[in-house]
Chains A and B, each alone.
Chain A
């Protein structure tokens, strides 16, 4: 499987570590009134998607960047690769 890194070009998936759903970017607000439910949802509840899944991959044996990879779980086709940093900032998180 080849992941087309936005900065480095095509790289073998051997260089990466898989983390899981991209939902993990959206960490709930710890001061929210519904914090227990929010964190339960954040930590445990996942859709088991048969199709395009947005997931986090870490380029451990490369530039140590986090990527948001959209992958089809049925065909393993990689549809889109973005820097998680950019996605996170566009969601209004971080600096």
Chain B
């Protein structure tokens, strides 16, 4: 056994920047677990998560919340959902499997993604310059989620409030993504 102890670090060291009407902050308290649903088990999974957490499988591009509002499920693909929820431990996979108690396949992706929240009344002005999706507040409604490309970087965008968006990119792209957002902020202000 080695004598070293590894310390957990978030991809962007908890970066937080305030601008006029825009806040950029790394999200560090959330975990992300992929929940793969075999085609013949979708109904079983839907009723199991309803029973355990009051959740349902969201429709494509939308999210659902558990009855305690802690677990959010995102639907980006036909045969899987992503569970986004506050968890600070080291085994989100076992933790969410235990909470959902459904016959699905779980993969912890928490540490592979960097999560950045862009919020504030001018957040849409910043995002519309880098996001190819229509972010009209009536179209990309609260709870909407999508995977797309921003500045050539594969990105998941989730709207978690009136003027609040969480962007997820692969961890190795986190600094490039932060740079893209900061450049967009400079262009807007």
Contacts and interface: CB of A to CB of B under 8 A. Distances in A.
Interface residues of B, number: 13
B76 interface: yes
A26 interface: no
A15 B148 contact: yes
A42 to B, nearest CB: 27
Contact of B60 (A7, A10, A11, A14): A7
A14 B149 CA distance: 8
Contacts of A8: 60-61, 146
Interface residues of A, number: 13
Interface in B73-87: 76-78
Interface in A2-28: 7-12, 14-15
Interface string B111-132: 0000000000000000000001
B76 A15 contact: no
Contact of B78 (A9, A11, A63): A63
A61 B154 contact: yes
A72 interface: no
A64 interface: yes
A15 B149 contact: yes
Given A7-B60, A15-B132, A61 B78 contact: no
A61 B60 contact: no
B147 interface: yes
A62 interface: yes
Interface in B54-72: 60-61
Given A9-B61, A15-B132, A63 B76 contact: yes
A62 B146 CA distance: 8
Given A7-B60, A8-B60, A9-B61, A61 B148 contact: yes
Given A15-B148, A61-B148, 13 more contacts: A11-B132, A11-B133, A11-B148, A12-B149, A14-B132, A14-B149, A61-B147, A61-B149, A61-B154, A63-B77, A63-B78, A63-B147, A65-B77
Interface of B: 60-61, 76-78, 132-134, 146-149, 154
